[in-house]
Amino acid sequence: MLLSNALPFYRPVHIKITNKLGNGLDLTLHCKSKEDDRGEHLLHEEKSYSFSFIPNIFGSTLFYCSFKWSGQVHRFNIYDGTRDECHRCNW
């Protein structure tokens, strides 16, 4: 038996964020967790940014992102180990 099948917290989580704003709007995003800063990325319309990680053994991994467009900033928890069960999470 593979370790990743025996211990679900070793199973990688894949996050994909796609700019679906429309009207040619660009999206700037910056994602991070307590342990990992993924940096700032500019997404043109219909472009995506993806990353993967292995959740911690306590199930408390939290990734949050700020999203900027049209002079506005919005923040979301895009992965919360206490809430989410996805291993392929699309935003």
CATH number, domain containing residue 24: 2.60.40
β-sheet bridge partners, residue 50: 16
State the average pLDDT over residues 40-60: 96
Residue 73 has a pLDDT of 98
pTM, full prediction: 0.85
State the average pLDDT over residues 42-57: 96
Question: In terms of Cα–Cα distance, which of 46, 63, 55 is closest to 87?
Answer: 55
Determine, yes or no, domain membership for 8: no
User: What's the token pair of residue 15?
Assistant: 């996050």
Residue 60 has a pLDDT of 94
Range of 18's domain?
Answer: 13-90
Mean pLDDT of the chain: 91
